[in-house]
């Protein structure tokens, strides 16, 4: 499929904006780029093209912020929970209407934002609270496998930990990479990534390689309060987009 110069320009700008958001907040690239790209190509192709760039980006961000690495307990079990979640999500995709899953994400993220705005904390039972990370990653895997984006589930959890900007980006990157690795291997296994899509994925890395380092440099000028406002603002935008998808 050949694209016009105008279409390629729009896709380039979407990747650039998504890279800026990703470099500052640790999330946002697939949520910005995939809907735009899907306007010019099949959705499965848009998702497939972003698999390799997302995998590479998360590795790069984990390396850049390695000095701000946060200890993630039970990491091997988180990988298992994420992989199982992705598989379950893929099965759910085949039997459930898509709007069920979008509604779940909207309620999950909306509940978190309500708690942040009203400053109300939900106190979980001790047993459930101890395994909260496993539950979140497992649910995030289900959402990733079913609708292709775990940001609305993972981002609120990591934000609730009260990390610095650098720690936050590192934390979401390593959790996203659990899903990214599973997705990459499964797409290769299912034949959803062929030589043509690999080539297009490598082309998508060009605007990302330009704007992602710029975003990391710009992030040094944000104080914790500004960064918190940026993340909350981005989560609100994501919530509004989920609601629009439900009523649209």
Residue 210 confidence (pLDDT): 92
Q: Determine the Cα–Cα distance for residues 26 and 217; give it in Å rounded to an integer.
A: 13
Looking at every residue in the chain, the average pLDDT score rounds to 79
**Mean pLDDT across 205-223:** 86
Of residues 217 and 43, the one with the higher pLDDT is 217
**Mean pLDDT across 135-158:** 78
Of residues 210 and 44, the one with the higher pLDDT is 210
Q: Is the pLDDT of residue 49 over 80?
A: yes
Name the pLDDT band for 104 (thresholds 50, 70, 90): confident
Q: Is the pLDDT of residue 124 over 50?
A: no
Q: Of the ranges 56-65, 114-123, 231-240, which one carries the lowest mean pLDDT score?
A: 114-123
- What are the phi and psi torsion angles at 108 (to 5°)? -60, -55
**Mean pLDDT across 76-80:** 85
C-alpha distance from residue 130 to each of 70, 74, 135, 156, 188 (Å): 18, 11, 10, 17, 35
Q: Which of 150, 140, 141 is nearest to 182 (CA)?
A: 141
Name the pLDDT band for 94 (thresholds 50, 70, 90): low
Other Cβ atoms closer than 10 A to 240: 11
pTM recorded for the entire structure: 0.72
Q: Which of 7, 35, 19 is nearest to 205 (CA)?
A: 19
Domain around 99: 5-247
Domains identified in the chain, total number: 1
- Return the structure tokens found at 209: 């390689």
């Amino acid at each position: 499929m050949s694209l016009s110069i105008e279409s390629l320009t729009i896709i380039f700008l979407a990747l650039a904006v998504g890279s800026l958001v990703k470099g500052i907040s640790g999330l946002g690239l697939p949520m910005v780029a995939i809907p735009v790209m899907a306007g010019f190509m099949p959705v499965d192709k848009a998702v497939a093209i972003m698999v390799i760039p997302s995998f590479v980006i998360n590795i790069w961000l984990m390396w850049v912020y390695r000095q701000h690495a946060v200890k993630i307990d039970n990491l091997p079990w988180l990988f298992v929970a994420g992989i199982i979640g992705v598989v379950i999500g893929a099965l759910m995709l085949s039997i459930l209407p898509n709007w069920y899953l979008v509604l779940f994400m909207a309620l999950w993220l909306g509940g978190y934002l309500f708690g942040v705005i009203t400053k109300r904390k939900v106190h979980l039972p001790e047993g459930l609270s101890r395994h909260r990370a496993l539950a979140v990653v497992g649910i995030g895997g289900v959402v990733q496998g079913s609708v292709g984006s775990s940001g609305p589930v993972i981002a609120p959890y990591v934000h609730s930990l009260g990390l610095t900007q650098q720690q936050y980006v590192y934390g979401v990157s390593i959790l996203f990479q659990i899903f990214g690795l599973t997705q990459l291997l499964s797409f290769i296994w299912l034949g959803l990534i062929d030589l043509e899509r690999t080539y297009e994925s490598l082309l998508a890395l060009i605007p990302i390689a330009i704007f992602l380092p710029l975003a990391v440099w710009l992030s040094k000028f944000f104080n914790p309060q500004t960064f918190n406002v940026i993340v909350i603002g981005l989560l609100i935008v994501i919530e509004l987009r989920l609601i629009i998808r439900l009523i649209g």
